[in-house]
Chain A
Amino acid sequence: MKRNDFLKELAGHLSCLPSEQIEDIRQFYAEAIADRMEDGMSEDEAVAAMGTPAMAAEAALSDLPAVPRAIARTRRKSVILLWVLAIVGSPVWVPLLVAFAGIALSIYACIWIVALCAWIVVACLGVVGISCLALTVVGIVIGNIPYAIAMLGCGVGFIGAMFLAGTVAWEITKQLARLSALWAVKAVSPFWKGRKPDTTKLAARKGMSHLRKTCLAVAGCFVVAGIILAAIGFAASGFDPAVFNTNISTDKVIIGGTSINPNDVPFIEIIGR
């Protein structure tokens, strides 16, 4: 077999690949044959050393992911066979493909629902914290100072907890983003082979940033201050657990254990709603 025949047949077997890839493989074998001839082999000997074009094509395709490789192999045998298989087999492979996409998507969704839950916890802590601060104002207005201090403590504490939870949620989200990226790579691997995620780069960013450390420290101080304030409020009320009792409904309003007239105080209407 002559060099050009070999290269032509090789390119024919690789027709399923993008043209620049075919050209790359063609050039590789052209160079190998030329180098052997330069080394003193005859053209026929040099071409024979490459094996058959079909074997060379098979080897070049061996690095492809499973699905394109199977398509390429069938196509190499016969283009008609590929079409017949694609059409006759469609009741099998279409539902399979849909199921595969469905599973891949649901796993993706599961990953993100975990992140969503973490952020919902953060939001709840924030809402409770802000409500407590509003109740502090109510306590001041109605003159129940122990209650106001206790509520201020709860508010500050919950907001500190919100920041702590926020940092954790952010960390979870980041890890999940990495996980979902890994999952995406895995899910498409039978069809497409991308670069593996660079683990060294991810590891380098593991250290906590200065900003986050400061944020955590401030949040921690908030929680501690909140607990101390709540304890002061509790002590000021004569260690009466009712100081933490807030009950707001449409027909009655209990603030710090005492029933009051809802029309006397601001915010109550809003919180009650």
Chain B
Amino acid sequence: MEAQMKRGFLEACVLAALSGEESYGYQIVKDVPASMGLTESTLYPLLKRLEKAGCITARSVEHNGRLRRYYRITDIGHARVREFLDEWPSVQEIYRYVKETQS
């Protein structure tokens, strides 16, 4: 998958993983579809970027005697997800066009 496109998909996936309850790093890695190949090393900069953009907030919660960072989606994040979903018709159109030229 092209790097720029994958970045957009990953961002949408992570925001989607946080759309329900707040979640933490390992849980997000498990939740996001395996085909995205999300690992911690890709997740870390992604979370930082989303946090900086105001799409998510983070807080530390004690868990089994250690701290765990929980992330929660914000209204800006919800808006970002909607924007992503709204792109679907134009993506479909592009796929249709490419497919037609191949037949």
**Residues of B participating in the A interface, judged by any CB pair closer than 8 Å:** 24-27, 29, 39-42, 44-45, 48-49, 52-53, 64, 66-69
Contact = CB atoms under 8 A, between A and B. Distances in A.
A50 B40 CA distance: 6
A203 to B, nearest CB: 15
A62 B39 CA distance: 14
Interface residues of A, number: 24
Interface string A28-64: 1111101110110000000001110001101110110
Contacts of B39: 49-51
Contacts of A35: 24-27, 68
A31 B45 contact: no
B65 to A, nearest CB: 10
A195 B49 CA distance: 10
A31 B26 CA distance: 8
Contacts of A55: 41
A173 to B, nearest CB: 29
Contacts of A34: 66
Nearest to B29: A32
Contacts, number: 55
15 contacts: A28-B44, A30-B66, A31-B25, A31-B66, A31-B67, A31-B68, A31-B69, A34-B66, A50-B39, A50-B40, A50-B41, A51-B41, A56-B41, A63-B45, A63-B48
Nearest to A55: B41
The 8 closest A-B pairs by CB, nearest first: A35-B26, A59-B41, A63-B45, A32-B40, A56-B41, A32-B25, A28-B44, A62-B45
B26 A59 contact: no
Contacts of B67: 27, 31
Nearest to B41: A59
Contacts of B40: 28-29, 32, 49-50, 56
B24 A31 contact: yes
B52 A195 contact: yes
B45 A28 contact: no
A104 interface: no
